[in-house]
Structure 1
Amino acid sequence: MGESILDFQLEQAIGLNVNRTAFLMTEEISRRFAASGYPLSAQDFGILFRLMKQGAMTQVEIVQLLMRDKTTITRRIDGLVKKGLVERKPCQEDRRCFRVALTTEGELALEVMIPLVRDFQQEVLSDIPDDEKAITIRTLKSISERLLKIR
């Protein structure tokens, strides 16, 4: 017979630990963004960063890339538009869709935010050896790929 359900250790569950770590990291980086004059979430940063790296995208492309639901991304983009960090431009090939693009103000925000993220990661990970960081990233990517296959 298998293990008893009483033997299950929730504290050892990968999902719980990944979720807790992600929560703590996103809360702290959002606090640091706000302290530097940009009251934005980690999700907002993710959108801005992807737009910087990949250029203008449709909201559907952003949803797929960031693996978030359409409603959340629409709400986040609405907030970024109100703050002047992104703009919606009609798609040339289909006037019914819009492409989201960084504004100059969005680019300036990233010039402040990217060093904050880089410094924060260095601070949080400073005492973890590089090989352990690499193994952790590789393992998490492997788990993500497996989960995408079983969806």
Structure 2
Amino acid sequence: MEIKKVENHKKQFLSLLLLADEQEDMVDKYIDKGVMYVLDDNGIKGECVITDEGGGVLEIKNIAILPKWQGKGYGRALIDFISAKYREKYSVLQVGTGDSPLTIPFYEKCGFTRSHSIKNFFTDNYNHPIYECDIQLVDMIYLQRKL
């Protein structure tokens, strides 16, 4: 398994990015300023985009693993890689996600705890309802962990 930084042509991974953020104009808001990594294990299995939010906070803007490879430790491997690589420069790793029974427990297992939320984030920023596990996402939930 190898995790590689993507310097150019980040949109070649759009199908992966859209797994985690299904509206392309939302991806466009962070893809150029973010640092992208892909996880390659006999083929690309996942990706992660991170941004510097200031004040020692590094944010995971997008993390996605191909459905066929979910639940095999690749998401955790990306988070562990980011944590190890950036712990000298940042004090907090944060992620924003919908209040979903699929994603929140994953992040909690990776050592994140709930920090704050943005009310109506999904209804105010997306041009269609966003569903996960048959639940409409409304608020953005932020989780953080110390680096």
Report the TM-score, using the length of structure 2 for normalisation. Answer: 0.26
Structure richer in strand, relative to its length: 2
- Report the structure, 1 or 2, having the larger helix content: 1
Q: Point out the structure with max Rg over C-alpha.
A: 1
Task: Report the TM-score, using the length of structure 1 for normalisation.
Answer: 0.26
